[in-house]
Chains A and B, each alone.
Chain A
Amino acid sequence: MKLSIRYKLSLVIMTLLLIPWMGYQYVREMKAFVLQGQEDALLTTASAVSTVLHDRPELFSLETGGPDIVSEAGDLQVRQLPGPIRIDGEFDDWDDILKDLNHYPVEPETNSTEPDTPDLAYDHVLGSWGPYVYALFQVEDGDIIYRDPKVRPLNQSDHLRMFLRDQDGDLDRYVVTASRPGRMDVYKMDENWVYPLTGKPVYTIVSHMKPVKDGYAIELLIPRRLVSGDARLALAIADVDDAKDRQMSSLISTSPTRKIAELGRVLIPAPEIERILHALDKPGTRIWVVDRFKRVRAVVGDLSSIGGYIVTSIDSNMKSLQLWMDRILAPIYRFILKPPEGNFSDLPVDTRERSEEILFQVLEGMPATDRRASVDQQAQVLMAAHPIWSGDEITGAVIVEQSGNNATALQNRLLQNVIAVTVIVFMIVAIALMTFTWRLTRRIRKLSRASGLAISPEGRMREERDIPDQKSRDEVGDLSRSITDMLSRLAHYNRYLESMPDTLAHELNNPLNVVNSSLENLGTHHPDISESKYMARAQNGVNRLGSLLASLTEAGNLEEALKTEGHERFNLNEMLSLYMEGYQESHPEFKAGFIMKLPEHQVYINGSPDHIAQMLDKLVDNAVDFSAPGQQVSISLSVWHNEVIIKVMNIGKTLPEEMQERLFDPMVSIRPTGTVRSHLGMGLHIVRLIVDAHGGTATARNNEAENGVVFEITLPTA
């Protein structure tokens, strides 16, 4: 298979495609490195956060509660209060929390135990500050029935009921009741909510009642420890409308009360941890704090916001080109790269427990890093965890999380750069190499064509050789110069060879003339000798020698003549028939005769008729000489496209294969040596000289039947 230089160089250019591969490998390494660095940074952050939380077991004590999260119905959301509340029934110190009032009964369903409770409703909210949880009730009630202090059952007036399941799972019932506006009494109750268990009121819970328009307001204080941890709490307002019979007409609760498990949780923020964490918050980072039971104590931050600083920091220079390339290459990027998802969803903020492998590890006391997929599988999340110590005990752990999207974005950005740079480099190099190759191969092809043209198809050196690139100083120029040098040496040598017969003839003519004139003088001096047969033979030999020398010089003279001879337009049909007629007349010894095939129409060529006739002389002589006895020689004329074809065919001895090419060279003959007529093989050389001068070609081959030879001359038509 022939591979052109162009093709080979194109293959070489293909090796440039290794650049993006290399870039890809590099970028992958880079991404791993970046992720590693990110993990290390996360671990450092985790360590720092945990350091802040070290040796502060109170942060993890049960009173501090859980994270600021909202949960299912019945759960009691505790708001962070800006400051302590005075228990006086005035709401002015509740501030913004008043906006978060929950209305009961919750429409459309109510939790009232009685079917007809038309005139009871209340707004309620919980708040916490310091070690206390505060409750606020704004009750709409037409008739306020106060407790009669003389009556023992406590359910015969408007009152507040409190279901509390403490840490140990024991359920306590409290009734908060007022015998007049102001300070309320709190009693621990029996199962039927009728009598207090003891005569002593509970002093740990403080409450104040104040009548307002259309109802009354209650403020309640509960120590936080009572409701922290896994404690459950439900609050209910009981309404008594008839002052006479004092029967409870309706009861509206914040949560179902039948089963303990259905009691709502008390969701108290862990203000201390969160405050600390908020100080450490940064975009794209989420910090979790879990206690040793793997329960989430606090969480801050948001994973899905991607830090943009990496993306913008790269394309500082060549920015416009970069943008331009990006636009062009966008489809390629989309095909190759998966853009990082900016908005992926991960663990909800109200996750209560974490149970990943990393937690087991960290709660053993080992700082750890890990990676996980985000919940929707759209992103990779990096995690670093560090234990929080309190003395020798592990009180919890800090988990710092970041999305790996920054690294992915960085990787994509770098890959885009690599692709863009590769495309640019590839194009530039390809264009440069293609141009170079194109020029080089064009020069080489021109050179090769020119050197091919320097020698005619017949193998003769042309006079005018136009070899390009003579002046170039590179290797092609060298090659061109050496080809020119070689060709001119060859031309010199060729001229020398071609002039050799001429020179030889000239040099031989002088001694021949000596012999000739001497023989003549000898004959005149001695008439008896002139009669001698030896004299005749010597004369004959001299004549033959002379004829040989003449035929040697004929070619040279002919070339001179052909150069000076003008061409004229003449009728080839006419000339051929006249010629054959004349030949027959002048060669009566050739009895077999000719077969002549001429076309119907007249064929004209531009040329020298004398020389065309001379060419025919040689061809016909040759055909006649090689004809088998009694065989006719046929001559045909035809026109094919713009060429006249003259064929001279004879039946007889065929040409040896290797001679067909050389037959037209000077001094090449296939006549047997020692024939009567002397030949130097110049005849067909003369044919070629004449044909060349007319811009035609001469070929010799055996005919198809392999029983003779065809000489074919083509000449351009006029």
Chain B
Amino acid sequence: MSRSIAIVEDDPDQRENYADALTRHGFDVKTYSSRLEALEGFKGGLPDLAILDIMLGDEPDGGFDLCRELRGMSTNLPIIFLTARDSDIDTVSGLRLDAWDYLTKPVNLQYLAVRIASLFRIADTLSAPEQQHDDNYRHGHLEIDNQSMSITWKGKPVNLTLTEYWIVESLARRPGHVRTYDHMMQVTRQSMVERNTINGYIRRIRNKFKTIDDSFNCIQTVFGVGYRWNATS
């Protein structure tokens, strides 16, 4: 049975384009143009994953509201924000509502499909927690679970979004090697990424690690080039 995806987007062209692409990748796609329409549709059953725009019609924060309502219905439903609003504030508010990822337009449909596949894999792992994974990657206090795409630091889980996971994973896989901005733009699997955006990701990642371990300083800035995972510290 194919997984169902709900797309809530007020622009019909973009909505249909997403739907076409995702349907082609074998997902069962339902589209809604407004928050109320989506809520109506969800009464007949929740989708496996929801893609939300933030501005919905005349509701500037309709996506955020819908996200909150969806979270009320299900705590582990993967939700992705896909929006033209790219400010830090929006990103942070989106993620604070337990969205699994936050993407900015224009979006690469290929990447979108990959991302959705990854999120489903994480969701699957979460729903079967007893399963042991042997291919976990360890480096120092860091442990990366490829299967559930989750990371623990000193034994404690770090609550990262998918994009953040990919960045940490990319850095940690080759400790001591510099990951350039260009490389990291690829890793984020988004079409348009500025250095500033990368810096923002790194900042949020560092903060998340620091909430667990105040002395965390493994991600080192290589000015003008990129970042590296500092193996020694």
Binding site for B on A (CB under 8 A): 502, 506-507, 509-510, 512-518, 520-521, 524, 542-543, 546-547, 549-551, 553-554, 556-558, 560-561, 564-565, 575, 578-580, 582-583, 585-586, 609-610, 613-614, 616-617, 620
Residue from A513, A546, A585, A620 whose CB has the most chain B CB atoms within 10 Å: A513
Shortest Cβ gap from A646 to chain B (Å): 13
- Among all A-B residue pairs, the 5 with the closest Cβ atoms: A582-B225, A517-B17, A509-B84, A579-B223, A513-B105
Closest to B180 in A: A586
Answer whether residue B134 sits at the interface, using C-beta atoms and an 8 A cutoff: no
Q: A554-B194, A575-B223, A582-B224 are in contact. Are A514 and B88 (CB under 8 A)?
A: no
Q: Is the CB of A509 within 8 A of B199?
A: no
Among A554, A585, A609, A620, the residue within 8 A (CB) of B196 is A554
Q: Is the CB of B106 within 8 A of A613?
A: no
Q: Which residues of A contact B225 (CB under 8 A)?
A: 582-583, 585-586
Q: Is the CB of B21 within 8 A of A586?
A: no
Q: Is the CB of A506 within 8 A of B85?
A: yes
Between A and B, 29 residue pairs with Cβ closer than 8 Å are A510-B105, A513-B14, A513-B84, A513-B107, A517-B106, A517-B107, A518-B13, A520-B17, A520-B109, A521-B109, A549-B192, A550-B194, A556-B87, A557-B196, A561-B199, A578-B223, A579-B223, A580-B224, A582-B222, A582-B223, A582-B224, A586-B180, A586-B224, A609-B221, A610-B202, A613-B221, A613-B224, A616-B223, A616-B224
Q: A510-B11, A546-B192 are in contact. Are A521 and B223 (CB under 8 A)?
A: no
Shortest Cβ gap from B86 to chain A (Å): 6
Beyond A550-B192, A617-B224, 6 additional contacts (C-beta under 8 Å) are: A509-B105, A517-B107, A520-B17, A546-B106, A550-B194, A610-B221
Q: Which of B187-229 contact A (CB under 8 A)?
A: 191-192, 194-197, 199-200, 202-203, 221-226
Closest to A518 in B: B17
Query: How many angstroms between the C-alpha atoms of A521 and B25 in the bound complex?
Result: 12
Q: Which residues of A contact B84 (CB under 8 A)?
A: 506-507, 509-510, 513
Chain A proximity mask over B74-109: 1 for CB below 8 Å, otherwise 0 = 000000000011111100000000000000111111
Q: A520-B108, A556-B87 are in contact. Are A578 and B222 (CB under 8 A)?
A: yes
Q: Is the CB of A524 within 8 A of B24?
A: yes
Closest to A502 in B: B87
Q: Which residues of B contact A565 (CB under 8 A)?
A: 203
Shortest Cβ gap from B152 to chain A (Å): 26
Q: Is the CB of B222 within 8 A of A617?
A: no
Tell me the dominant secondary structure on chain A's binding face.
Answer: helix
Residue from A510, A560, A582 whose CB has the most chain B CB atoms within 10 Å: A510
Interface magnitude class on chain B: 35 or more
Q: A520-B108, A614-B195 are in contact. Are A514 and B17 (CB under 8 A)?
A: yes
Q: Is the CB of A557 within 8 A of B87?
A: yes
Q: Which residues of A contact B11 (CB under 8 A)?
A: 510, 514
Q: Which residues of B contact A561 (CB under 8 A)?
A: 88, 196, 199-200
Q: Which of B106-121 contact A (CB under 8 A)?
A: 106-110
Answer whether residue B20 sits at the interface, using C-beta atoms and an 8 A cutoff: yes
Q: A586-B225, A614-B199 are in contact. Are A516 and B88 (CB under 8 A)?
A: no
Q: A513-B106, A517-B109, A553-B86 are in contact. Are A617 and B200 (CB under 8 A)?
A: no
Q: Which residues of A contact B226 (CB under 8 A)?
A: 582
Q: Which residues of B contact A524 (CB under 8 A)?
A: 21, 24
Q: Which residues of B contact A516 (CB under 8 A)?
A: 106-108, 191
Answer whether residue B64 sits at the interface, using C-beta atoms and an 8 A cutoff: no
Closest to B182 in A: A586
Shortest Cβ gap from B53 to chain A (Å): 9
Shortest Cβ gap from B114 to chain A (Å): 13
Answer whether residue B18 sits at the interface, using C-beta atoms and an 8 A cutoff: yes
Q: Which residues of A contact B14 (CB under 8 A)?
A: 510, 513-514, 517
Query: How many angstroms between the C-alpha atoms of A517 and B13 in the bound complex?
Result: 9
Q: Is the CB of B203 within 8 A of A610?
A: yes
Q: Which residues of A contact B85 (CB under 8 A)?
A: 506
Q: Which residues of A contact B110 (CB under 8 A)?
A: 520
Shortest Cβ gap from B144 to chain A (Å): 25
Q: Which residues of B contact A546 (CB under 8 A)?
A: 106, 191-192
Q: Is the CB of A583 within 8 A of B224?
A: yes
Query: How many angstroms between the C-alpha atoms of A711 and B13 in the bound complex?
Result: 46
Shortest Cβ gap from B221 to chain A (Å): 6
Q: Which residues of A contact B203 (CB under 8 A)?
A: 565, 610
Q: Which residues of B contact A547 (CB under 8 A)?
A: 192
Closest to B86 in A: A553
Query: How many angstroms between the C-alpha atoms of A546 and B185 in the bound complex?
Result: 14
Q: Which residues of B contact A521 (CB under 8 A)?
A: 17, 20-21, 109
Q: Which residues of B contact A620 (CB under 8 A)?
A: 224
Shortest Cβ gap from B59 to chain A (Å): 16
Q: Is the CB of A564 within 8 A of B88?
A: yes
Shortest Cβ gap from B205 to chain A (Å): 13
Closest to A575 in B: B223
Q: Is the CB of B20 within 8 A of A610?
A: no
Q: Which residues of B contact A578 (CB under 8 A)?
A: 222-224
Query: How many angstroms between the C-alpha atoms of A514 and B140 in the bound complex?
Result: 45
Residue from A550, A554, A578, A614 whose CB has the most chain B CB atoms within 10 Å: A550
Q: Is the CB of A512 within 8 A of B88?
A: no
Query: How many angstroms between the C-alpha atoms of A705 and B50 in the bound complex?
Result: 62
Query: How many angstroms between the C-alpha atoms of A288 and B201 in the bound complex?
Result: 123
Query: How many angstroms between the C-alpha atoms of A518 and B16 in the bound complex?
Result: 9
Closest to B18 in A: A517
Query: How many angstroms between the C-alpha atoms of A621 and B90 in the bound complex?
Result: 30
Q: Which residues of B contact A614 (CB under 8 A)?
A: 195-196, 199
Shortest Cβ gap from B202 to chain A (Å): 8
Q: Which residues of B contact A517 (CB under 8 A)?
A: 14, 17-18, 21, 106-107, 109
Closest to B110 in A: A520
Query: How many angstroms between the C-alpha atoms of A580 and B104 in the bound complex?
Result: 32
Q: Which residues of B contact A610 (CB under 8 A)?
A: 199, 202-203, 221
Q: Which residues of A contact B192 (CB under 8 A)?
A: 543, 546-547, 549-550
Q: Which residues of A contact B88 (CB under 8 A)?
A: 557, 560-561, 564
Q: Which residues of B contact A549 (CB under 8 A)?
A: 192
Query: How many angstroms between the C-alpha atoms of A332 and B89 in the bound complex?
Result: 78
Q: Which residues of B contact A582 (CB under 8 A)?
A: 178, 222-226
Q: Which residues of B contact A502 (CB under 8 A)?
A: 87
Q: Which residues of A contact B89 (CB under 8 A)?
A: 560
Query: How many angstroms between the C-alpha atoms of A521 and B87 in the bound complex?
Result: 28
Closest to B202 in A: A610
Q: Which residues of B contact A579 (CB under 8 A)?
A: 223-224
Q: Which residues of A contact B20 (CB under 8 A)?
A: 521
Q: Is the CB of A512 within 8 A of B199?
A: no
Shortest Cβ gap from A698 to chain B (Å): 18
Query: How many angstroms between the C-alpha atoms of A620 and B197 in the bound complex?
Result: 20
Query: How many angstroms between the C-alpha atoms of A610 and B224 in the bound complex?
Result: 9
Closest to B225 in A: A582
Residue from B108, B195, B202, B225 whose CB has the most chain A CB atoms within 10 Å: B225
Q: Is the CB of A512 within 8 A of B105?
A: yes
Q: Which residues of B contact A617 (CB under 8 A)?
A: 195, 224
Query: How many angstroms between the C-alpha atoms of A120 and B86 in the bound complex?
Result: 151
Shortest Cβ gap from A2 to chain B (Å): 48
Query: How many angstroms between the C-alpha atoms of A525 and B40 in the bound complex?
Result: 32
Q: Which residues of B contact A613 (CB under 8 A)?
A: 221, 223-224
Shortest Cβ gap from A592 to chain B (Å): 17
